Structure 1
Amino acid sequence: MSEAVSAGDGPEGYPGVGRVLVVVPTYNEADNVRLIVGRVRAAVPQVDVLIADDNSPDGTGAVADELAGADGQVFVLHRPGKQGLGAAYVAGFSWAKERGYDAVVEMDADGSHAPEQLPQLLDAARSADVVIGSRWVPGGEVLNWPRHRWLVSQCGNLYTRLALGMPVRDATGGYRVYRLPVLDKIDYGSVSSQGYSFQVELTWRAYREGFRIVEVPITFAEREQGASKMSAAIVREALWRVTVWGLRARRDAVTGAGRRDRDAASSARWP
């Protein structure tokens, strides 16, 4: 891990939100990481950036170290190997918690999440617990996606809403802001999901705990450089996990209602 200066030695934070850390997971993103970090620092100078690199064989870690050496608000978390997006974010969340940040941003390294739209998400975080940069609310859009990717995302999010009864239109979206108390409450360290299902599981836990979730429209652009990490296995994992969570929630609702009925009957018989 490279830390040129102590985290947070830069500006005081984003107005109304506090100290913000943007976590950017990387694996073979040497062509993109310099550009995305530069855009973040130009768009929102108040935030710090943590590059969480999974020992990329293409030299991404070395590029990240160079960026951190030149900018006291950029840091690097070198991880031992490719462990997945969810594990990278969990490590980034813990890094932020240990250093007293108030909010954490999830952002892809490939440029699909525009740093120039981060101020809108942070503004929404002044009165929300979780902010999702949403492709599927009015004003949101997706650029340069093939038809099958569009259908997979739309249908997956529809299924998630129906299975979980959760009124979030882009539960799989990966451009987010979390307040640190939310992450503590939902026990983020116990989340083992990856890919789409990691994002859904965090949303589901926050929703069940009663946190205020707000969706802000964003423009999502497909990466121009490097290979997409999306796969059929990631989609299958998400569908399977959402189904299990939905069935479990229905079971808990039924057993909970039955228990309340029994308690009410017992109280009526034995005042």
Structure 2
Amino acid sequence: MAEPPGPVLVVVPTYDERENLGPAVARLHACLPDVDVLVVDDASPDGTGELADELAADDDRITVLHRAGKDGLGAAYLDGFRHALIGEHQVVVEMDADGSHAPEDLPALLAALEDADVVLGSRYVPGGRVVNWPWHREALSRGGNLYSRLALGVPIRDITGGYRVFRRSVLEQLHLESVASQGYCFQVDMAWRAVRAGFRVREVPITFAERERGSSKMSGAIVAEALWRVTCWGLSHRLGRDLPQHPAGPVAEGARS
């Protein structure tokens, strides 16, 4: 595997993930012992933040960022990104705490940075798959991705997925202070910004497994926000009101084996 271009920080947002956090971090470090982990906890009532502090006390690869309350996935990741940019990490990873993102897939995502700036773990390219989702949940996900792909005019097949890798330079240039979207709409927003800014975006197949413990944070309001914002972005794009372009020009690359 090609070495990543510098130290790696895995940002793991949590809200009521006490049962899942420990096993997820242990699996991650079993695969990649040298990566650092930032747990961003939104004052979880179940004590996830306290557990994260205990893990950090025993392992200097783990840091905890406590937030005042539940303020959405997007806000948690943005705080995590800002924290990452204060330090010396050159690669920043988004990963769920619930076990749905297999740490065993991360080496392939990191290796793909050799010719990419952003790597998206994709369920819907050849080699990617979803395990133990009910049919209606997968249908909703596939439909949302198809709508986003058509509305925004990008060839990304899994633009809503939350397992992804960024070069530090991408986060430094994407105007994070202007990102206001939440839920999986946040994932669409970040990928769309990267494409429009001209960064090389690549999809790599992953296996996404439904969580075994706890409950999903998905809601109708999250889906409605995503549909509304994607529609607005698509209309703005067609009216010529896009984000500023990176000198290299927009590029989005599909999956490669």
Residue-by-residue CA offset, 1:122-165 (whole Å, 9 max, x unaligned): 00012210000000000000001111111111111111111110
> Structure 1 CA distance, aligned partners of 2:113 and 2:23?
25
Contact 2:4–2:91 (8 Å) recurs in 1: no
Q: How does 1:243-258 map to 2 (within 5 A)?
A: 243-252=231-240
Bigger mean CA offset, 143-152 vs 181-190? 181-190
Provide structure 2 residue ranges, at least 5 long, that are not aligned to the other structure.
243-257
Find the counterpart in structure 1 of residue 245 from structure 2: none
Secondary structure of 1:52's partner?
A: strand
**TM-score scaled by structure 2?**
0.92
Give the AA of the match of 1:17.
P
1:89 lines up with 2:77 in the alignment: yes
Contact 1:17–1:122 (8 Å) recurs in 2: no
Give the alignment partner of residue 186 of structure 2, picking from 192, 198, 204.
198
**How far off is 1:253 after superposition?**
6.9
Find the counterpart in structure 1 of residue 108 from structure 2: 120
Secondary structure of 2:18's partner?
A: coil
Q: CA RMSD in A?
A: 1.2
Give the alignment partner of residue 46 of structure 1, picking from 12, 25, 34.
34
Find the counterpart in structure 1 of residue 132 from structure 2: 144
Find the counterpart in structure 1 of residue 248 from structure 2: none
**How far off is 1:18 after superposition?**
0.8
> Structure 2 CA distance, aligned partners of 1:219 and 1:16?
21
**How far off is 1:186 after superposition?**
1.1
Give the alignment partner of residue 77 of structure 1, picking from 65, 68, 72.
65
Give the AA of the match of 1:141.
R
Find the counterpart in structure 2 of residue 265 from structure 1: none
Secondary structure of 1:17's partner?
A: coil
1:216 lines up with 2:207 in the alignment: no
**How far off is 1:245 after superposition?**
0.2
1:242 lines up with 2:235 in the alignment: no
> Structure 2 CA distance, aligned partners of 1:120 and 1:22?
15
**How far off is 1:17 after superposition?**
2.0
**TM-score scaled by structure 1?**
0.87
**How far off is 1:190 after superposition?**
1.5
Contact 2:122–2:158 (8 Å) recurs in 1: yes
1:229 lines up with 2:206 in the alignment: no
* Percentage of identical aligned residues: 62
- Runs (4+) off by over 6 Å: none
Find the counterpart in structure 1 of residue 50 from structure 2: 62
Contact 2:133–2:210 (8 Å) recurs in 1: yes
> Structure 2 CA distance, aligned partners of 1:161 and 1:191?
20
1:28 lines up with 2:9 in the alignment: no
Give the AA of the match of 2:14.
T
Contact 1:129–1:179 (8 Å) recurs in 2: yes
Find the counterpart in structure 2 of residue 6 from structure 1: none
1:135 lines up with 2:123 in the alignment: yes
> Structure 2 CA distance, aligned partners of 1:17 and 1:119?
13
> Structure 2 CA distance, aligned partners of 1:198 and 1:192?
8
